[in-house]
Amino acid sequence: MIDAHQHFWALANPFTAWPTPDLAAIHRDFAPDDLRPLLAQAGVTGTILVQAAPDVDETRFLLGLADAHDFVKGVVGWIDFEAVDALDQLRQLASNPWLKGLRPMIQSIEEPGWVLRSEFDPIFQEMIAQGLRFDALVRAHQIGDIASLAGRYPALPIVLDHGGKPDIVGEAVAGWAADIGRLARHANAHCKLSGLWTEAGDDISPQAIGPYADHLLAAFGVQRLMWGSDWPVVELAGRYGDWLAQARRLLAGLDEAGLAAVFGGNATRFYRVGDE
């Protein structure tokens, strides 16, 4: 069983600008020893460790944690796509076998179509050549750009983080659902069943979350959907084990093979776990 999306951070690190003090529930250090007992209780045997700061030094920090802790099965890091030495950054990080993918923090970029800039083509081509995956951290209105990216680079495996962050509180479903369908039509596009609780405001009930999980499953199917905790960010809304239990209930209609795929097999295959 693989958790396809979790984070670590130390507030003393110079690159840790988030979480900010107003997010009291998660404004502290989160390290491997904090997560290990939660994994044991949940029966999770491995994780994918994802960047949380737009800094290459943070990625190096995470790669060091992966090397030191056997349950971390891979790292999704960050490079400065706009830097003149972006390719050098990529190649240097990719020399570490724990690096499985890259994630620019598109959700914080206001420029429409930023990820589709033509000058990024060498970066995407190098990612393909290196066997790296692309994590798409976007808000709902940016999903269309990821669909265009998937069509432009069919050899690049892409995963949409947090179901594309639907506006669950505002119940703005139609546009999100249509863009999810457009993205899912590309065979290289996958999706994480993660992060939905922190988009849902005060109501994280199965009744609130279920329609979104149902749509993601219908769009991507059991072979392209993967569960992730988004720990410790999930603690803004609830507990690791409770989110896992709800996700299992929401997908209770799947057979044993389907559950095994969503809760481990798909992440293992997508991130090439075991290729270190």
The confidence score (pLDDT) of residue 59 equals: 98
pLDDT of residue 22 exceeding 80, the answer is yes
The confidence score (pLDDT) of residue 4 equals: 98
The confidence score (pLDDT) of residue 105 equals: 98
Percent of the chain at pLDDT > 90 equals 97
The pTM of this model reads 0.97
The confidence score (pLDDT) of residue 173 equals: 86
Domains of the chain: 2-270 (3.20.20.140)
- Report the C-alpha gap between 209 and 218 in whole angstroms: 15
Q: What is the pLDDT of residues 181-203, one digit of tens each?
A: 999 999 999 999 999 999 999 99
The confidence score (pLDDT) of residue 133 equals: 98
The confidence score (pLDDT) of residue 274 equals: 86
The confidence score (pLDDT) of residue 172 equals: 78
Q: SS3 sequence, 19-54?
A: CCCCCHHHCCCECHHHHHHHHHHHCCCEEEEECCCC
pLDDT of residue 276 exceeding 80, the answer is no
Report the pLDDT averaged over residues 24-49. Answer: 98
Count of positions (residues) in the chain: 276
Sequential DSSP letters for 205-261: SHHHHHHHHHHHHHHH-TTSEEE---BTGGGGTS-HHHHHHHHHHHTTTS-HHHHHI
- Report the C-alpha gap between 175 and 75 in whole angstroms: 31
CA torsion 188-250-233-40 (nearest 10°) is -100
Q: What is the edge-to-edge ordering of all strands in the sheet holding 72-77?
A: 2-6, 46-50, 72-77, 99-102, 133-136, 158-160, 189-193, 225-227
Q: What is the pLDDT of residues 110-154, one digit of tens each?
A: 999 999 999 999 999 999 999 999 999 999 999 999 999 999 999
Q: What is the pLDDT of residues 206-265, one digit of tens each?
A: 999 999 999 999 999 999 999 999 999 999 999 999 999 999 999 999 999 999 999 999
Report the pLDDT averaged over residues 65-77. Answer: 98
Q: What's the mean pLDDT when you consider all of the chain?
A: 97
The confidence score (pLDDT) of residue 171 equals: 80
Ramachandran angles phi, psi of 160, nearest 5°: -85, 120
